[in-house]
Structure 1
Amino acid sequence: MGDDGEGVIVSGASGVSGQVVVGVDGSASSLAAVEAAAAEARLREATLKVVHAFVWPALHVPLGPSPLGPDDGGLRNEVETMVAQAVERARAVAPGIDVTSSVVSGEPLATLEVQSRSAELVVVGSRGLGGFVGLLVGSTAVHLAAHGRCPVMVVREEPRTDGPVVLGVDGSLSAEAATDFAFAEADLRKAPLLALHAWTPWNAPLPAPDEGPYAAAPGALAQDEERLVSEAIAGHRERFPDVPVTTEAVRGPSRETLIEASRSAQVLLVGARGRGGFTGLLLGSVSQAMLHHAHCPVVVVRGDV
C-alpha cells in the first residue's frame, strides 16, 4: 500500500456486489465512521474500501523516515499504520466482509468526491483531525454531503442498533431520492421506518393564484400536509412489504422536530435540499442542521445524481 495505490485485505466471501467507502484520518471520529461503514457493508453484502487522502506529497515535505530516527518512522509509515489499524477495526466489527484500502495523494474532499462516483455509500466522521474546537461538524463532511455523487453518511455520536429509521419528508426531489434509500435501509436493518414531515403555515406550499390567500377551509392545510407524507411513500410499501411504516405530519419547525426524532433513531435520512431551497444551493439549511445537531448518523441523499 502506498501513494495512489491500493492494498487488498481479504476477509470473507467473494462475489459481493457494490462498495461502501469510508474516509479515515486517524481521528476518533473517523474510527467511529469505520465501524458504521463496516456494518453498512455487511448489511449490503458489499466490499468496504478504507480511503485516506494523503496531502503531504503535494506540500513537498519528506515522507520517509528521518536519517536520525527509527526505520518505521516518517509520514508515509505513519499513514500506512493508521490505515491498517482502520482496516483491522472494520474486520473486527464485520468479520465476513471484504476490505480494501487505499492511500491517495490529494485533498480529502476531492479524493472522496472521486471515490463517491463508484460507491453506493460514502461514510465519514462528523469531525476530523483538522476540526477547530467548537466546530461541530467538519468542513469535509458538509461539503461532501453537498457534492458527493452517492448518498453520504455522517456519523455522529454512538450509533444505536434499535429504534426506527427516520425519514425526513418534504415533497422535494431530494426527499424522493431519500425515500428510496430509507426504505432500502430499513429493509436491510430489519427496522421500522418513520416517515416524518414537519410543517408550519410559513413553509407549506403557497395556494394556487386563483384560490386566494384565505381560500383553504379550517383544517385543510393539516390534511394537505398529511396527504403529502402519504403520497411521498406511495408505491414503496408494495416494494418493501416487510418494512413496518409509520407516517407523521407534525405541526412545528423542521429542524427541532427532526433533531428530537433522531434521539431514538438508528439513522436519519434527509434530502440534500428541501422544497424551499434556493436555486444553486447544493445543501439546504435543514440538512445542514441535521449534520450539526442530530443525535444519530445522518445520511444526506441528493436527488440529482
Structure 2
Amino acid sequence: MTIPLVVGVDGAEAGLEAVDWAVAEAARHTVPLHLVHAAAPEQEASDVINAASERAGKDAPAVRLSSEVLHEDAASALVGEGHNAFALVLDSRGLGDLAELLLGAVSLAVAARAGCPVVVVRGSAEHREGRFGSVVVGVEDGEGSDTAVGFAVREAHAQRCGLVEVHAWSAPIGTPPGTSARCVVRPRAGAWYALEAHRRPPAQVLGDALRGPAEQYRGTSVSRRVVEGPARHALLAAAPGADLLVVGAGKRHGHSGLQPGLINHAVLHHAPCPVVVVPQI
C-alpha cells in the first residue's frame, strides 16, 4: 500500500493554500492525499474537512483522497500521522484552535518532532505554484544533509526543474589565509578558501553529496553555489528564486524527533517560498 501525503487543514485561507500545494505534490508523485483536521468542535470540524476535501477534489480529481478528524492537539495529531506518511504538509500560520500561541507555533513543533519530511507552505502564489523552476537544497559537510539532498533531487525531477546546491563555509576565526599550518589555502577568483585541515574543499562537499541521487535521477539540471558566511544567510539569499527550499535536520540525542537548529528556524520563519525540513535517516 502506498503511504499518503498528509496535509493539516484548519479552514483558514493559509491552510487552503497548503491544501492546494499538497494536491499538486500528491499528483506529481502519484501518492494518495490524506487530509487531517485536529482539535475542533464536531460540527466545525466536519465543515472544515468537507470544504478542504471538496477543494482538493476539484484541483486534482485523479488523486485518491481520504480525510480524518482527530480530537487532540494539532501538533501531536500530525506528528502521529507522520509515522506513516510520504511527508507532512502544513501552512506557516499554525493549525487548530491554538490562537493563543505565536504565529506558526504548531508548524514549528511538528517540524521539530516529526519523523518524516515536513513541508511548511509559505510565500507568494508565484513561489507556491512553481513559477521559478528551481529547487534549492542546503548541503553541509558530512552526512547530515544526505537525506535532504536525496529528497531535493527527487523533487526537482518530479517538478521537472533545476536543482541548486548551496554550501556555506567559514574560514577559521582570526586566521589569515595562507598563514596557518592547520589551513588548506586554495585561490578562487580573487578570493581564498581557508579551510581547517580536516575539512574537505566546498566543491568536493557538493560533488559528493549529489553523486548517489544524481545516478538515480539522471537528466536533472544542477547548479552549485559556494558562499562564505553563515548558512542561514546563504539559504535565505537563494530562496527568492526558488519554488522550494530543502534543509536537513539531525536526530536529537536521546529523544525522538528532529533537531531544528538555528538554520532551520531562520528559514522556516523568513523564507519567501515553501520550506521542507527533512530528517536524517
- What amino acid is the match of 2:149? T
The farther-off stretch of 228-237 and 33-42 is 228-237
CA distance in 1, matches of 2:34, 2:77: 13
Q: Verify: 1:154 aligned to 2:110, yes or no.
A: no
Deviation at 1:83, TM superposition (A): 0.8
Please report the TM-score for the alignment, with normalisation by the length of structure 1. 0.78
Is the contact between residue 21 and residue 129 of structure 2 (CA under 8 Å) also seen in structure 1?
no
Selected match of 1:221 from 194, 211, 222: 194
Q: Is the 8 A contact 1:172 1:273 kept in 2?
A: no
Relative to 1, partners in 2 of residues 1:224 and 1:231: Cα closer, same or farther, differing over 3 Å? same
Q: CA deviation at 1:126?
A: 0.5
Shift of 1:101: 0.6
Find the counterpart in structure 2 of residue 29 from structure 1.
Answer: 14
The 3 A distance-change label for structure 1 pair 181 and 141 is same
| Alpha-carbon displacement from aligned partner over 1:154-211 (angstroms, at most 9, x marks no partner) | 01123141321001111243311101111111111011100111222259xxxxxxxx
Amino acid in structure 1 at the alignment position of 2:222: V
- Tell me, which stretches of 5 or more residues in structure 1 are unaligned? 1-15, 56-74, 204-211
Letter in 1 for 2:248: G
Task: For 2:161, give the aligned amino acid.
Answer: A
Task: Give the structure 1 partner of residue 189 of structure 2.
Answer: none
Contact persistence 1:17–1:45 (CA under 8 A) = no
CA–CA separation in structure 1 for the residues paired with 2:165 and 2:85: 26
Preserved CA contact (<8 Å) 1:174 1:301: no
Residue 51, structure 1, aligned to residue 28, structure 2: no
Q: What residue in structure 1 maps to residue 137 of structure 2?
A: 167
For the pair shown, which has the larger CA radius of gyration, 1 or 2?
A: 1
Tell me if structure 1 keeps the 8 A contact 2:37–2:48.
Answer: no
Aligned pairs for 1:214-253 (under 5 A) are: 214-218=182-186, 219-221=192-194, 224-253=201-230
Does the CA contact (< 8 Å) of 1:178 and 1:270 recur in 2?
Answer: yes
CA distance in 1, matches of 2:85, 2:233: 31
Distance 1:202 1:110, change over 3 A: farther
Report the equivalent of 1:303.
Answer: 280
1:200 aligns with 2:170: yes
What are the ranges of 5 or more consecutive residues in structure 2 without an aligned counterpart? 174-179, 187-191
1:85 alignment partner, one of 27, 51, 54: 51
Runs (4+) of structure 1 exceeding 4 A deviation are 277-281
Name the structure 1 match of 2:262.
Answer: 285
Q: Which amino acid aligns with 2:158?
A: L
> Compared with structure 1, are the counterparts of its residues 278 and 148 closer, same or farther at alpha carbon in structure 2 (3 Å cutoff)?
closer
Structure 2 counterpart of 1:42 = 27
Classify 1:202/1:40 alpha carbon distance in 2 versus 1 (closer, same or farther; 3 Å). Answer: farther
* Matched residue, 1:185: 155
1:99 to 1:202, Cα distance in 2 relative to 1, 3 A: farther
TM-score w.r.t. length of structure 2: 0.84
Matching of residues 61-72 of structure 1 within 5 Å: none
CA distance in 2, matches of 1:127, 1:266: 19
1:131·1:138 contact (CA, 8 Å) conserved in 2?
A: no
Given that residues 183 and 194 in structure 2 are in contact (C-alpha distance below 8 angstroms), is that contact kept between their aligned partners in structure 1? no
- Matched residue SS, 1:198: strand
The CA deviation at 1:284 is 1.3
Q: Distance in 2 between matches of 1:264 and 1:160?
A: 13
Q: Deviations over 1:212-266 (max 9, x none)?
A: 6644235443781222111111122221112111112112321122112111101
Q: Partner letter of residue 117 of structure 1?
A: H
The secondary structure found in structure 2 opposite 1:113 is helix
* Cα pair 2:171 2:193 within 8 Å, conserved: no
* SS of residue matched to 2:63: coil
Distance 1:260 1:217, change over 3 A: closer
Report what 1:17 is aligned to: 2
Question: Which one has a larger percent strand, Structure 1 or Structure 2?
Answer: 2
Secondary structure at the aligned position of 2:66 is classed as: strand
Match of 1:111 in 2: 77
Partner SS for 1:188? helix
Question: What is the total number of aligned residue pairs between the two structures?
Answer: 259
